[in-house]
Amino acid sequence: MKLLAQQRDLQAKIPDIEKFLDIVATLQAKKGSGEALLADFEVSEGIYSQARIEDTDSVCLWLGANVMLECSCEEATTLLQKNLENAKASLEVLVADLQFIRDQVTIMQVTFARVYNWDVPKRESVKLVLLPKTLKGIFSAHILVAECVLLDESTTLISPFSIR
């Protein structure tokens, strides 16, 4: 579950970083034109305000944990590009890990099914050998029979089971 949560977080983070890169590129493009950029920004959840942005040489990046960094547009672009590359690389590794885990779970389920299916005829043959056919029809109560399975030449596993 932790890997799936990380995957969701990274999938949400990548579009945000790309959006921030577009905003910084727009600010850089408007820098020399002399016209102001009008932008709507979120003040609080669901509350927006309009801002007029004049020519600027710096931007502020929200790093989280009540920390904001003011840097030049070029530095911001470099930092955001690096963060985007790291997030995409982490997502690729995470997707590969999740696929590996899915494959291992599938292999485990198939192996359990094969072991169970291998054991069914063995148990049936042991029942028939240990309990004579004449006794099956006579007794209606539960009869406790010991199932003997030869593990190797020196070890025998005995487990009880009940037959009606």
> CATH code at 45?
1.10.287.370
What's the pLDDT score for residue 152?
A: 45
68 within some domain: yes
Residues 82-109: tens digit of each pLDDT: 999 999 999 999 999 999 999 999 999 9
Together in a domain, 99 and 147? no
How many structural domains is the chain composed of? 2
- What is the C-alpha to C-alpha distance for residues 79 and 69, in angstroms, rounded to an integer? 11
Residue 53 lies in a domain: yes
Residues 66 and 140 in one domain: no
| Domain interval for residue 145 | 131-163
Give the residue with greater pLDDT, 101 vs 155.
101
Residue 70 CA from chain centroid, whole number: 35
Q: Percent of the chain, pLDDT > 70?
A: 77
Residue 147 identity? E
Measuring CA to CA, which residue among 127, 32, 109 is closest to residue 73? 32
The dihedral sign for the CA sequence 133, 135, 138, 139 = negative
22 & 97 share domain: yes
Is residue 142 pLDDT above 90, yes or no? no
Do both 138 and 101 map to the same domain?
A: no
Each residue's pLDDT tens digit, 17-66: 999 999 999 888 888 787 888 888 888 888 999 988 888 889 989 888 88
Based on the domain organization, do 136 and 94 belong to the same domain?
no
Q: Please tell me whether the overall predicted TM-score, pTM, comes out greater than 0.75 for this model.
A: no
Tell me: do 149 and 88 sit in the same domain.
no
Contact residues for 128 (Cβ-Cβ < 8 A; gap 6+): none
Residue 140 lies in a domain: yes
pLDDT for residue 84: 96
pLDDT higher than 60, residue 163: no
